[in-house]
Chains A and B, each alone.
Chain A
Amino acid sequence: MKNRLKFNYIVYALAVFTWLSVSSQIAYGQTSKKNTVRLRADYFKIMNDHIYFDIKASSKIDKQTIGVAHIDILVSNIVNDDEIELGTVKTNMEGTCKFTLKSLSTLKVDSTNTYNMRFSFKGNDAFKRTSKSVSFKDANIVAQLTEKDSIHFIQATLFDASTNMPISERLLNVQVQRLFRPLRIGPEFNSTDNNGTIIVPIEKDIPGVNGNLTFEVVLNDSDDFGTVKALVNAPIGIPIVDESTFDERTMWSPRNKTPYLLLILPNLVILGMWGLIIYLTLNLFKISKP
């Protein structure tokens, strides 16, 4: 009887021990090795064009922040507790990706005219699951080129798209599109007036290909409207003149564009010398003939 009890006791102890170790293994494997991912999504709207979200996934590993590459981010539109899935994007080597939509019409707003987006990552072996919510309202910028006293201006008005009311006291940037980064036009801070409008003069001497310039009026990274950008094409720039010597015959051109003097003179000398050498070689043959 006593032995039996001891035996049972041992079995139970063994079972508990096994269960504990197995479950701790499972728990250990699941939580302590995985890193957290921080998601960031910025909303951009190009007027009369498309909208997109710049998504960045990063993680702090060994005290260094690195981009999380090649993970799938699910993009969805949250409407009154419904999650409408829109698509999936995969991050690149640097941990960034871009999700583009033709327009906001494919999305639905909630009762406050706000668009709610959710960007989620369902996790993998190395990283924990995470998601990020982004909310924004739709705003419009209407921009045009105007002229007064032979000075050109960019005039732009900021509207709340849902109410169509102008929004005042917002800072808009006016810039001209350039390679790498746009160049600011006018003062650093342009605050929209009571009519939601700004007007900025354009300097006369901005160069552009064939004189074409593209101006941007931007509401930059606002909390409620994201980033909204309006483009204005204006052929008011100074046409670019190609100053390169690429088409000319120079000392540094490739061989199909050698300067004429260098083509003619040396070749004359070579021809002269080798002409004589050939003549002399022929003389050798003449000598050898009896």
Chain B
Amino acid sequence: MENNTNKSRRYFLNNGLKLGIASLIGGIGLSKIASKLYGKTDTNSKNTIELMTTDGTIVEVDSSEVVEVIHSHDQEKKYNLREGMPNRKFVMVIDLAKCKNALKCQIACNKHHYITGEHAWLKVYKMQEEEDTAPYWMPTTCMHCDHPACVTVCPVDATFKRRDGLVLIDNDRCIGCRFCMAACPYSTRVFNWSEPDYGEDSEEMMHMNMAHQEHNSIEFAGMPSKIGTVDKCDFCPHAIKENILPHCVTACPNGVFYFGDKYEDTVTNGSETVRLSQLLIDKSGYRLMEGLGTKPSVFYLPPVDRLVDFKDGLDKFTNFNSVEKNK
């Protein structure tokens, strides 16, 4: 009896070991075949590196092929959020001869800044100085003035002027006194009178919460809007620091908005890129309410040699509405 059990044990161990080794070798072999089938590179090194590109995609690249790409702009350097990007002065040029109130700029701005109130940050005014003078459409953004009246009167340093020309708002500092809104002659600031209404569990809310958790409120205005504080056009710093044009510039189908760096003397509307100084001379650029001494950073090109008829914009004109409600 014992002999039998011993024998069977030995038998078991013997065969079991053989089986184990065989399956191990087989397993390794299978996995190798499998990996080959799934297209892992089989060049000299088996190492791949996972990299994130500037637009957020994950790339798997063989490590021998990865090389440091040297960018010619120094924007990758981190800068103090209240000081801004070095060696830049952002300006915008708005060509009134081309604007026909398509309002795509306003829609894009409202969408990308999750504006839910009743007042858009970018407004297209129906202007006519006098009965005898010609009517025209005038888009206005924040002027990011060089002598900003709003910044001067802020009691708590919640709104500030950066080195790169942007005037931004720290919604975590603002006390909601609205003195800046009273000071601004361009009526460009809006107030969050109530909690923003993003709708229950909407996808926008989730997407924006992710953006907000990773980023700061200063360069990501409106994501989300904070109750009891002031908001306004911010020249999209979250985009321009990635070399992406502000949303209004790319959204305009008529090339009305030009944006660029005054120090580089170049502005672009996405398709046309021109010297700023030349543009202002050729088309006689001016600024709004120059006499107030605010020194705005937004230039206007007068509505002459119009490419569009003013009346074409009338059917899109909504006097009592500037934010689309689709809830």
**Which residues of A are at the interface with B, using a C-beta cutoff of 8 A?**
49-50, 74, 76, 85-94, 96-102, 106, 177-184, 206-209, 214, 231, 240-246, 251-255
Contact = CB atoms under 8 A, between A and B. Distances in A.
A147 B147 CA distance: 42
Given A98-B53, A106-B65, A180-B268, A89 B73 contact: no
Nearest to A96: B55
A289 to B, nearest CB: 41
A86 B243 CA distance: 29
Contacts of A207: 263-265
Nearest to B48: A87
21 contacts: A49-B69, A50-B67, A74-B39, A87-B65, A89-B59, A90-B58, A97-B59, A100-B65, A102-B65, A179-B88, A179-B243, A180-B243, A180-B268, A181-B266, A182-B273, A242-B87, A243-B89, A246-B83, A246-B163, A252-B147, A253-B161
B224 interface: no
Q: Which secondary structure dominates where chain B touches chain A?
A: loop
Identify which of B40, B53, B152 gathers the most chain A CB atoms within 10 Å of its CB. B53
A86 B57 CA distance: 17
Given A91-B57, A255-B157, A209 B87 contact: yes
Interface string B154-184: 0001001111110000000000000000000
A93 B206 CA distance: 14
A95 B230 CA distance: 34
Contacts of A214: 72
Q: What 5 pairs between A and B have smallest CB-CB spacing?
A: A252-B151, A85-B39, A181-B268, A246-B163, A92-B57
B84 to A, nearest CB: 8
Contacts of A178: 260-261, 264, 266, 268, 273
A171 B198 CA distance: 51
Contact of A86 (B41, B55, B67, B266): B41
Contact of B41 (A87, A93, A184, A245): A87
A242 B146 CA distance: 13
Interface of B: 39-41, 43, 48, 53, 55-62, 64-67, 69, 72-74, 82-84, 87-89, 146-148, 151-152, 157, 160-165, 240, 243-245, 259-261, 263-266, 268, 270, 273-275
B59 A87 contact: yes
Nearest to B59: A89
B82 A88 contact: no
A99 B66 CA distance: 11
Contacts of B40: 85
A265 to B, nearest CB: 17
B273 A94 contact: no
Contacts of A251: 152
A184 B87 contact: no
Nearest to A179: B261
Given A183-B266, A254-B157, A244 B66 contact: no
A181 B57 contact: no
B73 A179 contact: yes
A92 B270 CA distance: 22
Given A101-B65, A178-B264, A183 B57 contact: no
Contact of B67 (A102, A241, A252, A253): A102
Contacts of A246: 83-84, 161-163
B212 to A, nearest CB: 16
B89 A181 contact: no
A255 B158 CA distance: 11
A100 B89 contact: no
B164 to A, nearest CB: 8
Nearest to B146: A245
B273 A88 contact: no
Contacts of B245: 180
B157 A97 contact: no
Given A183-B275, A246-B162, A206 B265 contact: yes
A88 B65 contact: no
Contact of A89 (B57, B89, B259, B264): B57
Contact of B161 (A181, A242, A252): A252
Nearest to B245: A180
